[in-house]
Amino acid sequence: MKIRTILISAAALFLCAVAGAQRYCNPLPMPIGEKGNASGDVSVFFDEGKYYMYCTGGGAWVSTDLLNWEYHPVDNVPIAPDVHKYNGKYYLTGNDITIWEGDTPLGPFRDMGPFKNTGGPELGWKVPFDSMLFIDDDNTPYLFWPGRGRTGIYGVELDKNDLTRFVSSPTHLFNYNPLHWFEHMGEHNEYQNVAWIEGPWVVKRDGIYYCAYSCSGTEWKSYAAGYYTATSPLGPYTYGGNNPLLRKTDGIVTGPSHGSIIKGPDGEYWAFYTIVLGGQFGSRKIGMDKIVFDELGNMSVQVTETPQPAPLGKPETGRKSIQLSVNKASRGSFSSEQPGFFASYALDDFAGTCWKPDPGDKQPYIMIDLSPAVDINVIDLFDVDGLRILFSNGGRGAFGGIIGGRGARPLPVYKYKLEGSMDGKTFYTLLDKTANTKTADVIYEDVAPRQCRYVKLTITDWPKETELGVIEATVFGKYSGYMNPTNPQENDRYLYKY
């Protein structure tokens, strides 16, 4: 039976969209600053009502809700930085044997010198990298770090009065295990005796210590994360039986690993992670998703790349938003393309390709017919409710092209608009960002839901020092009904549902 849709005013639709607009979509649209680009190895900590994010790429980001982030310049941020608070001071570690101290979460940070092993030599401690400072409930400080390659993860208690000093010989928590298939290096985990274990992150929940770690290597889409558990900070640690914790090798969001775990403003635990965008146009971005704990304490994460409720957003009911535009290039048109950089590449769900319009094209666009219907009597329709764009921004490379402010490119400010149509001729505005001032090469915007058969994305302005490239443009939405193009009078304005 067919049930006619109730028409809702544009104002009511807008209010509904705003009420449910607290959504995020991976990769996260992190602002870019002159000395900072969020390009992986993400560390998040909470202090006095705010969340602070540090990443490889320099700078820091601050948020109160884990959704809206503001960039702050911070000098001398190392690769794989980590900041934690201890006894009123803030301590920065990273890919170095040095620890830095600051009076605020955003520095400036003072060099305290290298770590000192007062407990005797031990393999793995001399050159800590990806080091993580952990403060237990009893205010005892610990340091965790990986060895090299197959060596695994180490930990040690630090001197409470001098965080540069180890109070004992480091403990080897666990090693690479060739039986753990996702730890093998390679795009398809084919190197069964080669590994790169890194990026430890320890969090305590209900008396259990969880040590997450990264594996397979950040150059692969197979980059993944696993975890071990223990009842004391230095173990012994037991392998998580439902590993891997994070893994995804298809689509845009691939290689999720090397991150952090934080309790959000909703009281739930959230995993922040590095995203490895595959191919020469890809780079490393940031993602997040909620952690689920079962009754046995096992933790798991569903890695997503569709719009999801943010930590303080309203839970979605009914159908979830899905990708509507993937591989729909043949059902649309475009303004221009360069040889080898086809418009279809913006819709192929792959970060290794890129659409580049002709340099003389001042208003490049892609128009897509969302309906895949082959029956001439049925055309499917969709409520479009979100837009994600990944710009190439000049090909920043695996680490974003900015590390501690070195080699910074012009800040990316992209302007664009999204329009919808029922007939491909008369268009109405879905999203207008032609006055955008935000600096980011990944964008995600919620859209007030509106029924469409066609959508048209137009890029109206971009940094002229950088050749325009669109890695991926994704339209999200939900099925909303169908129309009969051969018998328009029965459609009642094309608003029918099953």
pLDDT digits (tens, 9 = 90+) for 443-482: 999 999 999 999 999 999 999 888 999 999 999 999 998 8
Under the phi-then-psi rule, with left for phi > 0, alpha for psi from -120 to 50, and beta for the rest, what region is 124? Answer: left
Residue 18 lies in a domain: no
Q: What is the Cα–Cα distance from 297 to 319, expressed in whole angstroms?
A: 29
Residue with tokens 């005892």: 140
Domain boundary among 305, 336, 351: 305
Q: Is the peptide bond before 108 cis (omega within 30 degrees of 0)?
A: yes
Residue 10 lies in a domain: no
Q: 123 pLDDT exceeds 80?
A: no
181 secondary structure, DSSP code: G
Prediction pTM value: 0.91
Q: What is the Cα–Cα distance from 146 to 148, expressed in whole angstroms?
A: 6
Q: Do the beta carbons of residue 336 and residue 355 sit within 8 Å?
A: no
Alpha carbon 190 to its chain centroid, in Å, reads 26
Q: What is the Cα–Cα distance from 400 to 36, expressed in whole angstroms?
A: 9
Element (H, E) at 472: strand 470-483
Q: 374 pLDDT exceeds 80?
A: no
Please indicate, yes or no, whether residues 124 and 90 belong to a single structural domain of this protein.
Answer: yes
Q: Do the beta carbons of residue 202 and residue 134 sit within 8 Å?
A: yes
Q: What is the Cα–Cα distance from 202 to 357, expressed in whole angstroms?
A: 46
Q: Do the beta carbons of residue 200 and residue 132 sit within 8 Å?
A: yes
Half-sphere exposure of 480 (CA within 13 A, CB side): 22
**CATH number, domain with residue 395:** 2.60.120.260
Q: Do the beta carbons of residue 25 and residue 305 sit within 8 Å?
A: yes
Q: What is the Cα–Cα distance from 118 to 453, expressed in whole angstroms?
A: 69
Q: What is the Cα–Cα distance from 305 to 289, expressed in whole angstroms?
A: 10
The amino acid at residue 435 is: A
Six-digit token string for 223: 């980059």
Q: Which residues, at least 6 apart from 336, have a Cβ–Cβ distance to it below 8 Å?
A: 357, 358, 360, 361, 364
**Beta partners for 185?**
191
Question: What 3-state class would DSSP assign to 375?
Answer: coil
Please indicate, yes or no, whether residues 339 and 291 belong to a single structural domain of this protein.
Answer: no
Please indicate, yes or no, whether residues 438 and 296 belong to a single structural domain of this protein.
Answer: no
Number of domain units in the chain: 2
Provide Rg for the chain, Cα atoms: 24
Please indicate, yes or no, whether residues 268 and 369 belong to a single structural domain of this protein.
Answer: no
Residue 310 lies in a domain: no
**Beta partners for 353?**
none
Geometric angle at alpha carbon 255, from 51 and 99, rounded to 5°: 45
What share of the chain in percent tops pLDDT 70?
86
Residue 92 lies in a domain: yes
Please indicate, yes or no, whether residues 120 and 56 belong to a single structural domain of this protein.
Answer: yes
Range of lowest pLDDT (239-243, 401-405, 412-416) = 401-405
Residue 21 lies in a domain: no
Residue 9 lies in a domain: no
Six-digit token string for 201: 């992150």
More confident residue, 409 or 300: 300
**What phi and psi values does residue 446 have, to the nearest 5 degrees?**
-70, 150
Please indicate, yes or no, whether residues 64 and 102 belong to a single structural domain of this protein.
Answer: yes
Q: 408 pLDDT exceeds 80?
A: no
Residue 6 lies in a domain: no
Residue 240 lies in a domain: yes
Q: Are strands 162-166 and 116-117 parallel, antiparallel or unpaired?
A: parallel
Q: What is the pLDDT of residue 332?
A: 85
Domain boundary among 263, 279, 305: 305
Please indicate, yes or no, whether residues 269 and 382 belong to a single structural domain of this protein.
Answer: no
The amino acid at residue 498 is: Y
Please indicate, yes or no, whether residues 240 and 329 belong to a single structural domain of this protein.
Answer: no
Q: What is the pLDDT of residue 12?
A: 37
**CATH number, domain with residue 183:** 2.115.10.20
Number of Cβ atoms within 10 Å of the Cβ of 361: 16
Q: What is the pLDDT of residue 116?
A: 85
Domain that holds residue 453: 322-497
Please indicate, yes or no, whether residues 398 and 289 belong to a single structural domain of this protein.
Answer: no
